[in-house]
Structure 1
Amino acid sequence: MSSNRTLGFIGLGVMGGPMCANLASRSEHDVIVFDLDTEALQRVAASGAKSGASVIDVAERADVVFLSLPSIVQVESVVAEIMSAPNRPSVIVDMSTSDVTRTRLLGESLARDGVELVDAPVARLRQAAKDGTLLITVGATADRFFDLKPLLSCMGSDVVHAGALGAGQVIKILNNMVVFQTVNALAEARAIGTAAGVDPKLLFETLTLGSADSFVLRKSAMATLAVDEFPVKTFPTLYAIKDLNLALQLARDKDVPTDSADATMTLLEATRDAGYADEYYPVMVKLIDGGTRK
């Protein structure tokens, strides 16, 4: 990648904000940023990024634009704005978790207008976004992956070429599916253990010493299920439902049965309907315990 290229970054939320800050502070490129949240813009500007006036302003000034948005719906909307600019970036990198089929269709549409779409969704927790230690799975040609890897490495410690466009999303979606099912299993274990008189924290600490050990157990379960704390604005139940739906849709498209994932989806939807839509999704344990929000 040319040393004088300008980068753009749109979407400075819980993950996008620290990711962009790392890109701005660790790369040797100017980074133009935009978000509707002015406070988010100010926070990222402190890392050396330059505030853009709008999506079109970023598109006009940047050669490569990174996106970190809630879903494919927002991605399609923002990309439409980018493509309405008189001067467009040559590459758009979607770091959101997005629908595989719609990502590939969007890529085909952009290619007809001379713009290359790359999918590079991220995995791991918010602290990893701050530390620059995310897992990033990339769907792109081999040449484009090689071109972008130095930039993505500013945000992630593990940057994997997953295959062609959309393959990065496939791996990320399946990663999340396994995580949600693991949390479901841990929530059930907590409920059973508590009913049988075992302290939840002791239960999970002991499980980390055996073959049930996992990243999810050590990080998510110990921080939530073990202490019965489920903060808002972390990764809410609504987000989990959205991401798991992506995996289930992919399975339906390929005619693959998903009995276990379906059961987790049923529990997540019941958790949402019980009034826990905004809490960190391991709050699903409340439904296993038989509780509902008053």
Structure 2
Amino acid sequence: MADRPRIGFVGVGLMGHGMAKNIVEAGYPLTVLAHRNREPVEDLKTRGAKEAASVAELAAASDVIFLCLPGSPQVEATVAAILAGELQGKTIIDTSTSNPVSTRALAERCGEAGATFIDAPLSRTPKEAWEGTLDTMVGASEAEFERVRPLLETWAGKVVRVGETGAGHTMKLLNNFVSLGYASIYSEALAIGAKNGIDAATFHGVIGGGRMDCGFYQTFMQYVVGRDRDAHKFTLRNAHKDMRYVVSLANESGIASHVSSTVKNGLATAESLGRGDDFLPMLSDVVAELNGVRRDGGTDH
């Protein structure tokens, strides 16, 4: 155990808590950052983790630093704090859903300081984070990927190198674009159906189990039909943020963003209505309400 790298973890929230739990239980020395939400920090301390009072203190105590943060602004601020100290030989692994443009710039800055920056964003849910069966798509050189792979495998069941630094976040945005696009389609289809005598249960009875069924569809409809609020715990605010990144990347690439902009605008509308903290399947409620559709399948005239 003594030769294992010391791990720092910034962002022990819904996803990070389970990931950090699996790291420390795999025998890696772990330091986590103090946070206003004490529950995950205290839980990890009972499992053997230490707590740092600042990013600088955490960085000084770590060889590899994981970031699991809301987005690029928070990642950039945290990396700036890390760069203020000695970074030679250290590795930063950003598991957040970040803007690839920012990721590539941070990798360059870290390289100049003698450190390695790797992007390894996540797919799946907090349940899989806790179980250690997340998916991760990694942007790194082949050599760096092989070096950190055993560490990633403490919390991921599927680890795929998708290219050089920045490619992980690019692939993650494409993945989220597809899923958030489906969420938008489901929501509009349900509203159209409700206006024309097809309720959500009937819709689900036809689509469920057919060629258009998938895990994402199932958790979405677990809320729509079963009203399970915790079936898919990904906020509309985060979804909107991800789609802003997708549209920004499309624009930078010279790609017409007809569909991605439409999906982004729908999520922007939901957040502007004060629904940013609602979970993604609740987009169906927003679209229904905007179209005069009641939850019982009736319509307002």
TM-score by length of 1: 0.91
Paired with 1:85 and 1:164, the residues of 2 have a C-alpha distance of: 26
> Aligned runs of 1:57-136 on 2, under 5 Å?
57-86=57-86, 90-136=90-136
1:223 aligns with 2:229: no
CA deviation string 1:93-125 (max 9, x = no partner): 111111101110111111011011001110111
CA 1:224/1:173 → structure 2, altered by over 3 Å: closer, same or farther? Answer: same
Q: State whether residues 241 and 269 of structure 1, in contact with CA within 8 Å, keep that contact through their aligned partners in structure 2.
A: yes
Secondary structure of the structure 2 residue equivalent to 1:70: coil
Instruction: Name the structure 1 match of 2:33.
Output: 34
Which AA in structure 2 matches 1:250? L
Instruction: Name the structure 1 match of 2:246.
Output: 247
Paired with 2:230 and 2:106, the residues of 1 have a C-alpha distance of: 35
Paired with 1:101 and 1:276, the residues of 2 have a C-alpha distance of: 28
Q: Percent identity?
A: 30
Instruction: Name the structure 1 match of 2:297.
Output: none
Instruction: Name the structure 2 match of 1:179.
Output: 179
Paired with 1:89 and 1:62, the residues of 2 have a C-alpha distance of: 11
Secondary structure of the structure 1 residue equivalent to 2:65: strand
Instruction: Name the structure 2 match of 1:268.
Output: 267
1:158 aligns with 2:158: yes
Q: CA deviation at 1:86?
A: 4.2
TM-score by length of 2: 0.89
Q: CA deviation at 1:59?
A: 0.9
CA 1:232/1:80 → structure 2, altered by over 3 Å: closer, same or farther? Answer: farther
Instruction: Name the structure 2 match of 1:282.
Output: 281
Secondary structure of the structure 2 residue equivalent to 1:210: coil
Structure 1 stretches (4+) deviating beyond 4 angstroms?
A: 86-89, 228-233
Q: CA deviation at 1:210?
A: 1.4
Q: CA deviation at 1:233?
A: 10
> Aligned runs of 1:46-61 on 2, under 5 Å?
46-61=46-61
Instruction: Name the structure 2 match of 1:9.
Output: 9
Paired with 2:70 and 2:180, the residues of 1 have a C-alpha distance of: 18
Structure 2: where are the runs of 5+ without partners?
A: 292-301
Q: CA deviation at 1:290?
A: 3.3
Q: State whether residues 231 and 279 of structure 1, in contact with CA within 8 Å, keep that contact through their aligned partners in structure 2.
A: no
Say which is worse superposed, 257-266 or 101-110, in terms of deviation: 257-266
Paired with 1:86 and 1:270, the residues of 2 have a C-alpha distance of: 44
- Alignment RMSD (CA, Å): 2.2
Structure 1: where are the runs of 5+ without partners?
A: none
Q: CA deviation at 1:287?
A: 3.4
Paired with 2:87 and 2:109, the residues of 1 have a C-alpha distance of: 17
